[in-house]
Homo-oligomer: A and B are copies of this chain.
Amino acid sequence: MYRKILMRMRMRMMNATRKVVVGWAKEYKRYLSTTTTNQILLSPPLVSVDLPEIWGSTSTLYHHHPSQSPVSHAKIINGKSIAEEITSRVASNVKRMKESIGKVPGLAVILVGQRRDSLTYVRNKIKACEEAGIKSVVAEFPDSCAEEDIMTSLSKFNEDPSVHGILVQLPLPELEYYLEFYKRTLYVLQMTCKSFLVQHLDEEKILNLVSLEKDVDGFHPINMGNLSMRGREPLFVPCTPKGCLELLLRSGVEIVGKKAVVIGRSNIVGLPIALLLQRHHATVTIVHACTKNPERITCEADIVVTAAGVPSLIRSSWLKPGAVVIDVGTCPVEDPSAEYGYRLVGDVCYEEALSIASAVTPVPGGVGPMTIAMLLCNTLDSAKWLYGFT
């Protein structure tokens, strides 16, 4: 008798919970379908999307839709125009902030060395800040600078009340020593396998010094830990992953229950994208350089986010018909006809992807502009929190 009552109570609870989950899903969809003037992004706070973890007997909480049939031509996800819309919303927020409290958000960038892709990225970030009315300052250092110089500059930005966001442009330079390379024995090589290039700057030490409240790149381990943990909210979500999510949401791509494959596991792109997609209830696999037959894994994915940095790695055989493809890869390739002597190429064979996927981001004009737009959003948010401005 006691067991029966218990069983009945349990069944009622289960049914009620299912209703709640369905209710939650509807509420979430409603949230995504409405934006107010002040709301810049569709990305909701992460804790708001945490679902109770209830395992169905056959895990059919969400209905299975058969994969879409091959499409003749994929939708091109126009990151550039979405980023422009977001930037213009940020600009109007900044204007309102200036008019209302006489303050504007400030971004400080630390740039070490002369990597041409880094120079381009920083130039674009500064230009975007200007467009949005965000004050920006760049501290430039030579390749061979001392770590202390960077740390001193960083500490000043940490204390500067007019700076609300600080970013260290990665990767930090490494001193090359190819000549030394062949002189060493194999054993020493094994021991120094990470040291084809000598890292004279301690990236971890430098990034950890960035004040948590100004870490608009979201690379501080506390932000990363809170991004990975259910029930936690990072102060800032890293810009590229946040931009990818925003592209998916604005393109109406369903994430909950979908198979997502992230190609690449870097700390600044692959890993946080995987964590973010998982927080949004995708079933995520990270494919990396040690993965055997990666195409066998990617070709089952509904969503492919690639950040390997290997031009044309993703052929049509890697993709499932109807998949959504987000290409984060940007590899500079020499091109004398281009403005700066090179052009950026993605990980994806774009033409091939267009013929099989349901939606694809181009390179350039896809994720790149979104990364910058998200940087503006994070810097604005940081200033809003500091001034209690809504």
Which residues from chain A sit less than 8 Å from chain B, CB to CB? 9, 13, 16-17, 19-21, 23-24, 26-27, 50-56, 59-62, 64, 178, 181, 186, 189-191, 193-194, 196, 203-204, 220-226, 228-232, 256-257, 259, 264-267, 271, 275, 278, 281, 283-294, 297, 308, 310, 313
Contacts and interface: CB of A to CB of B under 8 A. Distances in A.
Contacts of A224: 224-225, 228-229
Nearest to A199: B231
B52 A257 contact: no
A225 B231 contact: no
A194 B17 contact: no
Given A265-B278, A292-B62, A271 B228 contact: yes
B229 A267 contact: yes
A290 B59 CA distance: 7
A228 B275 contact: yes
A20 B290 CA distance: 14
10 contacts: A9-B178, A13-B196, A16-B181, A52-B194, A59-B294, A61-B290, A64-B293, A203-B231, A221-B221, A224-B228
Contact of A283 (B189, B222, B297, B313): B297
Contacts of A226: 221, 225
| Total copies of the chain | 2
Contacts of A21: 193
A17, A196, A283, A293: most-surrounded residue (chain B CB, <10 A)? A283
Contact of A290 (B62, B204, B287): B62
A152 B186 CA distance: 56
Given A189-B19, A224-B225, A265-B230, A283 B289 contact: no
A19 B287 contact: no
Given A186-B19, A193-B21, A193-B23, A53 B266 contact: yes
